[in-house]
Amino acid sequence: MTINDYENVVVTGASSGIGEAVARSLSEAGLTVHAIARRTERLDELAANTKCIVHTMDVCDSKAFIDLLETIEVDILINNAGVGRGFGNLVDANFEDIETTIDTNVKAAIYAAKAVLPGMVERRNGHLINIGSMAGLYPLASSLYGATKGATHVLSMDLRLELQGTGVRVTEICPGRVTTEFYDAALDDHAMVESKKNSGIKEVTSEDISQAVIYALDAPQHVNINRIELQPTEQTYGGMQFTPRSPK
CATH value at residue 72: 3.40.50.720
pTM confidence score: 0.91
**241 domain residue, yes or no:** no
Instruction: Report H helices in 50-205.
Output: 62-69, 95-102, 108-123, 143-162, 182-186, 190-197
> Can 145 be counted among the known catalytic residues?
yes
**Residue 94 belongs to a domain:** yes
CB contact at 8 A, 31 and 6: yes
Considering the domain boundaries, does residue 142 fall inside one? yes
The model's pLDDT over 214-247, given as tens digits with 9 standing for 90+, comes to 999 999 999 999 999 999 999 988 877 788 887 7
Residue 82 lies in a domain: yes
Q: Is residue 182 part of a domain?
A: no
Counting the structural domains of the chain, the total is: 1
Which segments in the chain show pLDDT lower than 70? 1, 181-197
Give the model's pLDDT for residue 197. 64
d(CA 248, CA 64): 51
Q: What is the pLDDT of residues 135-171, one digit of tens each?
A: 999 998 889 999 999 999 999 999 999 999 999 999 9
Q: Which of 111, 145, 183, 237 is catalytic?
A: 145
Q: What is the pLDDT of residue 218?
A: 96
Say what the pLDDT of residue 193 is: 56
Q: Give CA–CA dist 146/138, Å, rounded.
A: 8
Domain membership flag for residue 243: no
Instruction: For residue 173, give the DSSP letter.
Output: E
Give pLDDT, residue 242. 81
Q: What is the pLDDT, as a whole number, of residue 141? A: 84
Give the domain range for residue 46.
3-177+204-230
Answer yes or no: is 185 within a domain.
no
Please report whether residue 59 resides in a domain.
yes
Instruction: Quote the pLDDT of residue 192.
Output: 61
